[in-house]
Amino acid sequence: MKRLFAILVLAAAFLAPAVLAAQPGMPRGPHRSKGRPGGPQGLRMVERLNSMPADERSRVLGDLPPKRRAELERGLERYQKLSPEERENLSRRFRNFQEMSPERRQAMREAFRRMNDLPDTRRRAIRREMTDLRQLTPDSRQSRMASDEFKERFSAEEREIMDGLARGILEE
């Protein structure tokens, strides 16, 4: 779920100009307003992509590099398979992300990028730990992250990534 969230956040950032330009009545050309790619329209954009007919979505996604297009198509497939409750949870998290300051959003993007550079086994370990941390009170979470056991299980880089994610995801 968190990986899907990360993909959708990045999708919003990369697709905003293409999706907005593809909408009827939207200005085109050099005078078109670029807007903020990760701005409040991000969630609407993902929902719009999801609701587009397949041929229109293919046309919009066709302007992207093949690797990015494939990643986004996989992310949209996963989104479509979510239950209504999971979609609502994802939408809530996305809205929370959009309400963060630009600096905090950038820190979250960077933490997700760094996490995605880790081997699968370490990413899974971090995701499991983040799920466990979510269940704790802020004080308990802070104590756990400061414990020797935590420091032995996770490298300095992994702890730094989790700290960045904890500030963004867990402090909603």
**Cα–Cα distance measured from residue 60 to residue 131, given in angstroms and rounded to the nearest whole number:** 34
pLDDT of 123-162, one tens digit each? 999 999 998 998 888 899 999 999 999 999 999 999 999 9
Closest listed residue to residue 165, CA positions, set 140, 121, 131? 131
pLDDT of 79-117, one tens digit each? 788 899 988 888 888 888 888 889 888 888 899 899 999
Structure tokens at 136: 């704790």
**Cα–Cα distance measured from residue 62 to residue 1, given in angstroms and rounded to the nearest whole number:** 26
For the chain, the domains span: 1-99, 101-172
Whether residue 158 contacts residue 126, with contact meaning beta carbons closer than 8 Å, is answered with yes
pTM for the predicted model, two decimal places: 0.57
